[in-house]
Amino acid sequence: MSKRSWPFLLGGLLVALLLAGVVSNYASSHPDGLDSSLLKGCTVNADDEITGGSCPAQQAKDHELADSPLADYGVRGIGNDFLSTGLSGVFGVLLTFALGGGLFWLARRRGPATGPATGDSGTTTQPAGTR
């Protein structure tokens, strides 16, 4: 990677960390289109718990990783919701950056396996008549 690419890469990482760590806390807490369509036909209370009716959301189950440390857009064990959401976003960005960077590093284009032929003087040799 050229030296000119590093400021761009680090700037993008800084913007992603800022968005994930701070701005993500201001995202809407209302259900998106899929969640709202699954709740049609049911009545819900102020805590978004189903209290009656019949809808597809009643058959919903917890995910197998629902008790993982970064589940539900937060870090388990941190009582402050703002900090918990921000830290989970920062961890997610750093993990994604590390995995993506590692994959690009593994897949990067490598130069030729052998260098150009050199003569006794250490300079590159050229075929006759090509000077």
Q: CA 92 → CA 39, 64, 88, 96, 114, distances in Å?
A: 29, 19, 6, 6, 40
Q: Is residue 89 within 8 Å of 97, Cβ to Cβ?
A: no
Read off the pLDDT of residues 40-93 as tens digits, 9 standing for 90 and up: 898 888 887 888 889 888 888 888 888 888 888 889 889 999 999 999 999 999
pTM over 0.75: no
Task: Name the average pLDDT for the chain.
Answer: 83
